[in-house]
Structure 1
Amino acid sequence: MFAKPVPGRTTADGEGDVVVLLIGMRVNRFWAVHQWVPVMLSMIRMLRELERDPGRGLLEHVLLTASPRTYYVVQYWESKEKLYAYASSPEMFHHRVWGIVNGKERAGKVRGHVGLWHEAYVVPEGSYESIYFDMPAFGLAKAHGQVPVERRGRYARDRFAYRSEAGAGEKRAG
């Protein structure tokens, strides 16, 4: 099913800090299909696990390809605490997968067929902005909601300067 574009200019309706996780894999040896396909399937399985339990904190994700070798997921989370909780929870699939990876590494059985990476960011309010033109909700807007651009400011500098009531209160109190 295709989402309909929202006419005109819109922006994300995020308030407060935004948590972004980039996580992916690089196929170092294409012929080692038996090594990289399970990694790719594990990534998909973890996303499905998170989709089934929205309380875990994943708000949105986008699967991307950087090259024929490199695949990654941009994830938007409710908080870094929920991201940490998922990553370290013994009952979640991620914990089991990393146990296997770490065990292979300790045993010297990692052969470099697949590269794994992640980068995590907590972006403070006032340090992000977005604009979408004739787009359905996407990325940050899909994670936090989509509003007409006028609600946050016509120009990027205005959207960067936007503060939610909670964010403005923190600035005054600090």
Structure 2
Amino acid sequence: MFTKPIPGRTTAAREGDAVVLLIGMRINHFWAVHQWLPVMLSMFRMLRELARDPGRGLLGRILLTASPRTYYVVQYWESKEKLYAYASSPEMLHHGMWSTVNRKEREGKLRQHVGLWHETYVAPEGAYESIYFDMPEFGMGAASGVLPLERRGRYAKDRFAYRSADSSAP
């Protein structure tokens, strides 16, 4: 679906800490479809599960590819606590999928066919900023909404200095 750009300059409306999770996989052996395809499909299932329950804390996501072998998702979360709660909840797909991955690794069935990785970043308010120029809502802006750039400052240093009214930051 084509999304129309928002004219001018905007910035993400996020207030408070920004929690960003990069999570992905690398296909090490294309011929081992029976090993990597279930991993790929499980990510889509988890994203659908999270979309059905916004209270879990996933604010937005972007699906990307770095190469024909490497696929990943950039996820924006309300808090690291909600991210941890989802990842460790026995009722959620992630918990079962990770158990399966661990079991297959112990049995030597997953090793070297598919690589898995994630990186998590928590950026405190005042340690991140954004600018979008003639762009539709994208990235953190899609996850939190956007507002006119002037509301947070024309320059990056001003946007870094922004603190929400309920912020306890000095």
TM-score (norm 1): 0.94
What residue in structure 2 maps to residue 160 of structure 1? 160
Q: CA deviation digits over 1:109-144, x for unaligned, max 9?
A: 333100000001110011100000111111101111
Partner Cα distance (1:107, 1:39) in 2: 16
What residue in structure 1 maps to residue 169 of structure 2? 171
Between structures 1 and 2, the one with greater helix share? 1
Deviation of residue 105 (structure 1)? 1.7
Give the counterpart letter for 2:91 in structure 1: E
Give the number of aligned pairs. Answer: 170
Deviation of residue 89 (structure 1)? 0.7
What residue in structure 2 maps to residue 94 of structure 1? 94
Aligned residues of 2:163 and 2:169 also touching (Cα < 8 A): no
Runs of 4+ in 1 over 4 A off after TM superposition: none
Q: CA deviation digits over 1:29-70, x for unaligned, max 9?
A: 111111111111111110011001111100000000011111
| 3-state SS of 2:120 partner | strand
Deviation of residue 171 (structure 1)? 2.9
Q: CA deviation digits over 1:69-125, x for unaligned, max 9?
A: 110000000111110010011111111111111111222333310000000111001
Aligned residues of 2:35 and 2:110 also touching (Cα < 8 A): no
Partner Cα distance (1:13, 1:52) in 2: 23
Give the counterpart letter for 1:79 in structure 2: S
What residue in structure 1 maps to residue 9 of structure 2? 9
Give the counterpart letter for 1:70 in structure 2: T
Deviation of residue 151 (structure 1)? 0.4
What residue in structure 2 maps to residue 25 of structure 1? 25
Give the counterpart letter for 1:86 in structure 2: Y
Partner Cα distance (1:171, 1:47) in 2: 33
Give the alignment of 1:1-174 within 5 angstroms: 1-167=1-167, 170-172=168-170
TM-score (norm 2): 0.96
CA RMSD after TM alignment: 1.0
Structure 1 alignment gaps of length 5 or more: none
